[in-house]
Structure 1
Amino acid sequence: MTTESASTKSATDQVPPLQRDISWLRARLDEIQDGTARRDVDRLRDIVDRMRATGAPDPELADFDLAAIRAMLKRLGTAFHLRNKAEQVHIVRVNRRRERHATLEAPRPESLGEAVGVLHAAGFDLDAMLETIGRLDIQPTLTAHPTESRRRTIIQKQARIAELLGVVDAEDAGELERSRAAAGVRRALAVTLATDEIRSSRPEVVDEVRTGIHHLAGVIREAVPVVHRDLLDAIERHYGTRPVALPEFLRYRSWIGGDRDGNPNVTAEVTESTLQAMRTAAIEGHLENLEILHRDLSISDHRVPIAGELLDVIDRDAGRFGETDVDAAYLRHEPFRRRLRQIERRLRAAISDAEETYAANDLLDDLEVLHRALHHAGLAEVADGGTLADALVQARTFGFHLAGLDLRQHSRIHEGAVADLLRLAGVEDDYASLDEEGKAAVLRRELATSRPLLARDAAVASATREMLDTLAVVKRAVDREPAAIGSYIVSMAHAASDLYEVLVLLREVGLWRRDEDGVTCPIDVAPLFETVDDLAGAKAVLEGMFGDPAYAGQLEARGRFQEIMLGYSDSNKDGGYWAANWRLQVAQDELARTCREAGVEFRFFHGRGGTVARGGGRAHRAILSSPVASRNGRIRFTEQGEVISFRYAMPALANRHLEQIANAMLLASSGCAGTADEASIDAVDAADGLMDQLAAVSRETYRALIDDPGFWPVFEDRSPVRFIGELPIASRPVSRSGGGLQFENLRAIPWVFSWTQMRCNVPGWYGVGTAFDRVVSGDESKLDACRSAYRAGGHFRAFIDNAQQEMARARLLVGGWYLGTADGLHPRIAAEFELAERAILAITGQGGLLDNNPVIRESIRERNPDTDLINAIQVELLRRVRDEAYDDEVEMKNVVLLGVNALAAAMQSTG
């Protein structure tokens, strides 16, 4: 690129920065792409203009051959990816600007400074502040759910473009520096356009594990100490003193390599290799820290006093673990460096040597010795504010495990394994046929003893052997590093027996033991309540378990602590948006109260996806709108696919994400999340009195749609759901069971993904319109209650605002191109949309959807025209597939999948 084109940025300084960046990136794309694709896209715009007028696909679409369509999709998809990167850079820019203008009295919104300021103003002294932080238990959990449609190599190239865009945007960048950055963008774009968007095959679990480790050992590992520093800075500004360190309040978990629900590719061997890979990555990160510390701590015993404690440990390990006399002599006057080399040798041995006794706690002890020695040497600032402080945070957070690995399996698999063991042991011939009372009785008898049902090497069914082998892997991992394993999650938990079965299986490998002192079990067993009915019955399940002597031992073994997972995806797919969200809200309140009444500490684990339909939306708002009874400072939530790619794309984005979570958790757990006046409380109570009715009508309306005999054939025929299932973006199958694709066995992700692609977003709002029309419309007192509840904030406002965001992102005109009108499905959806829009505007007082969020509204408006182009192409491709109007089936499928990817970039979401 010429110097003139690089300098166009300075000539457009009056243009808003985001628009300037988008235009600049598009100009770079124009410079390197063949003009034919640009001309075809211009022609396509004219065609789509006609389609908007007629409301139907245009026959001229058939004139484009597959090569032209591929080039157009590549151009349009790449342009949206560039826009997405520009928006990420802009988020960082806005946060930095806000930080520059922030003051103690007016901190940056949703920052740690804001949260500490609120608590300080509320009368929290320093001890109370630290106690509140000490109660926090924040655990983001990475999963391999298939919601990131981009290849990792494409993501890496886009990250490089964002990095170079930052150089171009830098105020102090020189003309030559900007020109070189622009050339770098052009090169990255040229390679991107020459790279296949679609994998040639599905990733294996090991690929997913590598991706998870890439995030954990990279941006996440670097972000955690920054969050600690920011919180310490905020405390120092408000309290005038800086604590030496903070309690550990943030740690990570992972499902990748441990989640086997519906994924036969996750085996015992895979789980074992995952644990080793994570251990290696964690230790390698600590080795990097030691190398930096070795460079920094060039401290001579000629210059400062050396603590006897440090000299003692150096002498203790002198000549051990490979240290030679030469090594010792070379560093004889630099004791910090000598000790760091001793620690390094032990760490290297710990990666692969099973007999090496050096553990994560030993590393932490060694670093703390160095920390105290720096204080003794009069170098407190070096100890408390530098690399060593960060290394200590990382040692406490990531240990030798990087992230605690959860295991998850479907309850029916556990039932099958237990039934097999009971039959072979001669205890119960047909366990699976027993009712809940019968199963629980059998399991209670078994849990009264530590006696395993069978010998370790007994011949059992292959599925049972795989289960026992997996648990044996868990046992070895826990014995080596207790933090390596997180929880055992029971999917589709319906009753107490679903958890008792897991305890019996844990007993078989020695993970659950009972003796005269009680029960010992090193891992939590957590039910996952997923359907609307299971959420409604969860309170009774927990009450029964807490009152059952058979489970009392497990509770005591875990310190009277219970983790409870709540499923957002399947509950929505089962009952629709409003019913699922209300049932989740009620369940949290009921379960929290049940735990508190039983004297049980608890942590909710929120199984959220990226879209509103799967529990997505703003995490900060979700935390602050949770039931008061649930706000105990503990939280887990899943992060997956495109959510991980966005939140951890850049260090500054990761820091912002984590500080928003910590801000909300500090405010919620301290009781400082905002005080509502009596009138507002009454309004929310009045609206809540309507919620059961609204949920019932909403669910009935939603089920009437999906249970209609004519629904599924049309949906399967007209939507891209079949192709979404063929996207090679995950190791797990698209449905939990084999056979043909049906609504019942379709996973929630492709269900939501398909509606997003068709621009209807049905799972994010459908049923709301009829519910308010029947329950509220025409009754001013009920409408006033809803309006007051909306103004008061909380869960009611979150429900309404999430729904209106999904509706604003929808474009039913485009949905009509897919569904047509002959089958009545599209008119039915459009009528419900009209009712929902009318209700939301009546409650909010807005003139249009998202008038309360003009930034998102304008982003949607700007994206719509080019998104429509991709939709038009997809409609045409699906028509050709239905009519078998193609010569090469493989090429046809690849182009369809390319269109799915392009739309995912345009909509910034998948499932």
Structure 2
Amino acid sequence: MSRKPKLTRFEENVSSKYQIYNSIFMTLPFDEISNTGVLLPLFCEICEKGFAHDKNPSEIMDTFFERYVEKDKTEAEKINLLFRFIQYIERQVVLFDAVEDASFAIVNNMDGRGTLRNIKEEAEEKQKLGALKTHLERFKIRPVLTAHPTQFYPGQVLGIITDLAQAIEKDDLLTIKKLLEQLGKTPFFKKEKPTPYDEAVSLIWYLENVFYHSASKIYNYIQQNIFKGEDFDNQIIDLGFWPGGDRDGNPFVTTEITLKVAERLRSTILLNYHRDIRKLKRRLTFDGVEKRLERLERMLYKNVYLQKEDGMLSLAAFETELKAIRAIVIEKHQSLFSAEIDDIINKVKLFGYHFAMLDIRQDSRVHQGVFENIVETMEAKGNGLFSGNYINATEEEKIGMLSKVMQIIQPEYFKEEITNSTISSIYAMKDIQARNGERGANRYIISNNQSVLHVMEAFAMLRLCDWKQPKVDVSPLFETVPDLQIAHEVMKTLYENELYAAHLKERGNKQYIMLGFSDGTKDGGYLMANWSIFKAKEELTAISREYGIKVIFFDGRGGPPARGGGKTHQFYASLGTTVEDEEIQLTVQGQTISSNFGTLESCQYNLEQLLSSGISNEIFSSATAEFSQDDKKTMETLATVSYDTYVAFKKHPMFLPYLERMSTLKYYAKTNIGSRPSKRSKSKEFNFSDLRAIPFVGSWSQLKQNVPGFYGVGTSLEHLEKEGKFDQVVDLYKNSAFFRTLLENSMMSLTKSFFKLTAYMRENEEFGEFWTIIFEEYERTKRMLLKLTGYKELMENQPAGKASIHAREKIVLPLLTIQQYALRKIQELQKDPIANEKELKTFEKMVTRSLFGNINASRNSA
């Protein structure tokens, strides 16, 4: 490992290499326009100088055309050149990704802080190895891969990034050149939306090629180095999966797709086992084991390639057979290649026949309508579920009635499509469990959960589907600030419900609760969303402990800080003992998957960081992780002022018009990056509650304003400064790792903001005042954070991370300039949309095409 500082390692291995390979890339002729690569650096320079001299995007564009493009070029040719620039820039981002991936192990110390080796050594040094072993016998992490569209790379491009990273690692110039040529000719834009099954297949690639190897390598290390080769009964790493099971707001997820995805997961893990058994067979050519391995190989081959089930062993029998082979090798063949056998046994423990646990998720509002339809349909059939009038009953009466429901219903009883599909999705869970094992699909998540009734209706539906004791964990998802505030009361009532308590006992007295960052931030602003979740976790931990329930939190975290992302391991390490932490579960999506888990090294490193955050919180944490009463009071004041500031901003009459007309929000739907509709309702009317968090946060990111990651933070800090209580904030910052982590992530949002891009809006008659409000809060937040931290510049403590952000921002600056130029043109042309219809379509296409590179360049927000 190099002793050089991380920033130096980044500059030498990422920045310098990118410059070299980019210069090769820029000279490659991809089409009939051979001078695009020559003109783009000149355009970049014009953009940088233009913004430095407070020019607007249109003026910058005019300067460029005037200076570098021949006078006889038509408007169509100029526009064509801009589209070529977009193509080049989005590929430059890919190149930067590949260079960063190739250098991951050099830039990041693979044995440094937060890695397993470091933790083992620290435990030995502090004589806490016993405590570490005890903790690892029960502690787990579960990254849950979701198809939420926060990245625009199609599968082919992700494949090129992987191959390019490998070629760059070997300095294989010939292959690099060929791959860059391939990249130049590979389309980024999808003409059609992917289906949920397409999304699943894309993510299964990561399971098969990355997680399968990295997760098992970690498990093997723990077994060999911490447990000294002994077996222990805990997977430590579970993998979760949402594509094909997440029905919330996605009408394209059908029961057929759910079953098809589960089958794909099963066949992929069996294929991986088949490959490993074949490799093992080449080594274990000994008496007593050769024939047994042959039988296993044949069994897997028949299942994977011939789809023949006969002779397929149960999972337990498969594991037993592998252990029997190991026993013979140890006893009769001097343990030769026993480590390779252990590796396969451990993979079978980790991934079973399911590979990843498929969650089913649906919105409580859908459940409510479905349940009412079930009640009405069954009554019409003369087979009513209840003796009383359920629909007009009070919530308390409904809960009482639901506790006594006994019948069995089938999907075909119901003509309503949503009712039929909701019921059939529950039966699908039973089918998946029968085929892939209980871990194949054993959690039902209720989005937008606001009450006890929402949980009890979902639980009643499980029981109605011929499942007296459902082998399913019912998991409410609390998202908005008001829902988080009452979450502990909801759970207290459930814990006291006789029927639900009996169900929890059957499930090992474990309760999974999901908490959503994205909608919380959208609803209540950055500080309040994070503080509300922290407080909810404390209250839910306390109430669960009181009732003897082990609560397991599942965090709906996104890539950027505004969606709960940022430095994830720091966040979990900062929670303290008042928050239950037996498992860390979180959603991983879009660019976070490719940036944090896209290569074997980055996947291993980030899984280890996640593991270590839970371990250090439990084993090495000091009392300073807890909030004192004074610090809690300060945090409450900051969150409240921030919340009031953000809500007032959200209620500003220009808030929605600004997003609708000045941002890229409406263009997200045209990008075809995800199977899910970009807003919740089909209404043409634009309203806040229908907005999904991803396009909402993404639109601020495209404007380079990143409002959800900082708005209200500056005002709340300034409030205490004005009251002469800033020393209280300083104390909170010193004492609380949680608060420090929040502010570090907010600094990342500020670092990625660039207000000169949209400074022209200040002069806009309609939106000038609103733009100024945002800019002033940005300046205020920046000033207050620098004052609090004592830094001279943002992210001073993370120079390598900051360098990566600046490098990426520099690449996409010309792209954003083109996007803003196109948006300004659209505003002009809309004065007479009929006469300008053709031109409007061209510039709208330009905006849509320019979305890709900027979002992809933001991958290091995770």
Same fold (TM over 0.5): yes
Please give the alpha-carbon distance, in whole angstroms, between the structure 2 residues aligned to 1:411 and 1:266: 17
Q: 1:407 to 1:390 in 2, by over 3 A?
A: same
Q: 1:197 to 1:817 in 2, by over 3 A?
A: farther
Identify the residue that residue 217 of structure 2 maps to in structure 1.
226
Q: Does the alignment pair 1:25 with 2:29?
A: no
Please give the alpha-carbon distance, in whole angstroms, between the structure 2 residues aligned to 1:91 and 1:909: 12
How many angstroms does 1:882 deviate by? 3.1
Identify the residue that residue 180 of structure 2 maps to in structure 1.
189
Question: Is the contact between residue 38 and residue 72 of structure 1 (CA under 8 Å) also seen in structure 2?
Answer: no
Q: 1:803 to 1:388 in 2, by over 3 A?
A: same
Q: 1:214 to 1:425 in 2, by over 3 A?
A: same
Task: Report the 3-state secondary structure (helix = DSSP H, G, I; strand = E; otherwise coil) of the residue aligned with 2:785.
Answer: helix
CA shift digits 1:614-669 (9 cap, x unpaired): 11011210111124122432121111111111123211111111111111222223
Question: Is the contact between residue 595 and residue 859 of structure 2 (CA under 8 Å) also seen in structure 1?
Answer: no
Identify the residue that residue 265 of structure 2 maps to in structure 1.
278
How many angstroms does 1:462 deviate by? 2.2
How many angstroms does 1:134 deviate by? 0.8
Task: Report the 3-state secondary structure (helix = DSSP H, G, I; strand = E; otherwise coil) of the residue aligned with 2:443.
Answer: strand
Please give the alpha-carbon distance, in whole angstroms, between the structure 2 residues aligned to 1:231 and 1:621: 22
Amino acid in the other structure paired with 1:490? I
Q: 1:344 to 1:14 in 2, by over 3 A?
A: closer
Task: Report the 3-state secondary structure (helix = DSSP H, G, I; strand = E; otherwise coil) of the residue aligned with 1:379.
Answer: coil
How many angstroms does 1:267 deviate by? 0.5
Please give the alpha-carbon distance, in whole angstroms, between the structure 2 residues aligned to 1:225 and 1:628: 29
Identify the residue that residue 407 of structure 2 maps to in structure 1.
451
How many angstroms does 1:46 deviate by? 2.1
Q: Does the alignment pair 1:58 with 2:2?
A: no
Task: Report the 3-state secondary structure (helix = DSSP H, G, I; strand = E; otherwise coil) of the residue aligned with 2:222.
Answer: helix
Task: Report the 3-state secondary structure (helix = DSSP H, G, I; strand = E; otherwise coil) of the residue aligned with 2:85.
Answer: helix
Q: 1:400 to 1:862 in 2, by over 3 A?
A: closer
Q: 1:813 to 1:244 in 2, by over 3 A?
A: same
What TM-score results when the alignment is normalised by the length of structure 1? 0.86
CA shift digits 1:692-730 (9 cap, x unpaired): 221111111111112112221122101011111221111
Q: Does the alignment pair 1:575 with 2:521?
A: no
How many angstroms does 1:45 deviate by? 3.0
How many angstroms does 1:119 deviate by? 2.5
Q: Is the deviation greater in 455-464 or in 802-811?
A: 455-464
Task: Report the 3-state secondary structure (helix = DSSP H, G, I; strand = E; otherwise coil) of the residue aligned with 1:725.
Answer: helix
Residue in structure 2 matching 1:562, options 505, 508, 511: 511
Amino acid in the other structure paired with 2:817? A
Please give the alpha-carbon distance, in whole angstroms, between the structure 2 residues aligned to 1:490 and 1:286: 34
Q: Gaps (5+ residues) in structure 1? A: 1-11, 100-106, 169-180, 302-334, 514-519
- Give the 5 Å matches for 1:152-163: 152-163=155-166
Q: Gaps (5+ residues) in structure 2? A: 1-7, 66-74, 830-835
Task: Report the 3-state secondary structure (helix = DSSP H, G, I; strand = E; otherwise coil) of the residue aligned with 1:110.
Answer: coil
How many angstroms does 1:431 deviate by? 4.5
Identify the residue that residue 322 of structure 1 maps to in structure 2.
none
Please give the alpha-carbon distance, in whole angstroms, between the structure 1 residues aligned to 2:747 and 2:187: 36
Q: 1:13 to 1:754 in 2, by over 3 A?
A: closer
Question: Is the contact between residue 417 and residue 463 of structure 1 (CA under 8 Å) also seen in structure 2?
Answer: yes
Question: Is the contact between residue 253 and residue 486 of structure 1 (CA under 8 Å) also seen in structure 2?
Answer: no
Q: 1:868 to 1:521 in 2, by over 3 A?
A: same
Please give the alpha-carbon distance, in whole angstroms, between the structure 1 residues aligned to 2:103 and 2:258: 39
Identify the residue that residue 621 of structure 2 maps to in structure 1.
673
Residue in structure 2 matching 1:799, options 742, 748, 752: 742
How many angstroms does 1:216 deviate by? 0.9
Identify the residue that residue 327 of structure 1 maps to in structure 2.
none
Task: Report the 3-state secondary structure (helix = DSSP H, G, I; strand = E; otherwise coil) of the residue aligned with 1:135.
Answer: coil
Question: Is the contact between residue 411 and residue 424 of structure 2 (CA under 8 Å) also seen in structure 1?
Answer: no
Residue in structure 2 matching 1:636, options 585, 602, 608: 585
Please give the alpha-carbon distance, in whole angstroms, between the structure 1 residues aligned to 2:587 and 2:747: 24
Residue in structure 2 matching 1:113, options 88, 113, 117: 117
Task: Report the 3-state secondary structure (helix = DSSP H, G, I; strand = E; otherwise coil) of the residue aligned with 1:395.
Answer: helix
Please give the alpha-carbon distance, in whole angstroms, between the structure 1 residues aligned to 2:376 and 2:824: 53
Amino acid in the other structure paired with 1:442? M
Amino acid in the other structure paired with 2:221? D
Identify the residue that residue 586 of structure 1 maps to in structure 2.
535
Please give the alpha-carbon distance, in whole angstroms, between the structure 2 residues aligned to 1:537 and 1:529: 9
How many angstroms does 1:685 deviate by? 4.0
Please give the alpha-carbon distance, in whole angstroms, between the structure 2 residues aligned to 1:443 and 1:405: 27
Please give the alpha-carbon distance, in whole angstroms, between the structure 1 residues aligned to 2:11 and 2:156: 32
Q: 1:291 to 1:739 in 2, by over 3 A?
A: same
Question: Is the contact between residue 10 and residue 107 of structure 2 (CA under 8 Å) also seen in structure 1?
Answer: no
- Give the 5 Å matches for 1:113-152: 113-126=117-130, 128-152=131-155
Identify the residue that residue 346 of structure 1 maps to in structure 2.
299
Identify the residue that residue 104 of structure 2 maps to in structure 1.
91
Residue in structure 1 matching 2:326, options 366, 371, 374: 371
Please give the alpha-carbon distance, in whole angstroms, between the structure 2 residues aligned to 1:632 and 1:775: 32
Q: 1:49 to 1:467 in 2, by over 3 A?
A: same
Task: Report the 3-state secondary structure (helix = DSSP H, G, I; strand = E; otherwise coil) of the residue aligned with 2:688.
Answer: coil
Amino acid in the other structure paired with 1:582? W
Question: Is the contact between residue 411 and residue 421 of structure 2 (CA under 8 Å) also seen in structure 1?
Answer: no
Amino acid in the other structure paired with 2:430? K
What TM-score results when the alignment is normalised by the length of structure 2? 0.91
Question: Is the contact between residue 44 and residue 869 of structure 1 (CA under 8 Å) also seen in structure 2?
Answer: yes
Amino acid in the other structure paired with 1:777? K
Percent of residue pairs bearing the same amino acid type: 25
- Give the 5 Å matches for 1:705-854: 705-740=649-684, 741-779=686-724, 782-817=725-760, 821-822=764-765, 823=767, 824-854=769-799
How many angstroms does 1:157 deviate by? 1.2
Residue in structure 2 matching 1:689, options 601, 625, 633: 633
- What RMSD in Å do the two structures reach over aligned CA positions? 2.5
Q: 1:47 to 1:658 in 2, by over 3 A?
A: closer
Identify the residue that residue 545 of structure 1 maps to in structure 2.
494
Identify the residue that residue 496 of structure 1 maps to in structure 2.
452
Identify the residue that residue 70 of structure 2 maps to in structure 1.
none
Please give the alpha-carbon distance, in whole angstroms, between the structure 1 residues aligned to 2:10 and 2:631: 47
Identify the residue that residue 332 of structure 1 maps to in structure 2.
none
Identify the residue that residue 325 of structure 1 maps to in structure 2.
none
Q: Is the deviation greater in 485-494 or in 860-869?
A: 860-869
Identify the residue that residue 5 of structure 2 maps to in structure 1.
none
Amino acid in the other structure paired with 1:854? P
Question: Is the contact between residue 147 and residue 910 of structure 1 (CA under 8 Å) also seen in structure 2?
Answer: no
Identify the residue that residue 69 of structure 2 maps to in structure 1.
none
How many angstroms does 1:792 deviate by? 3.1
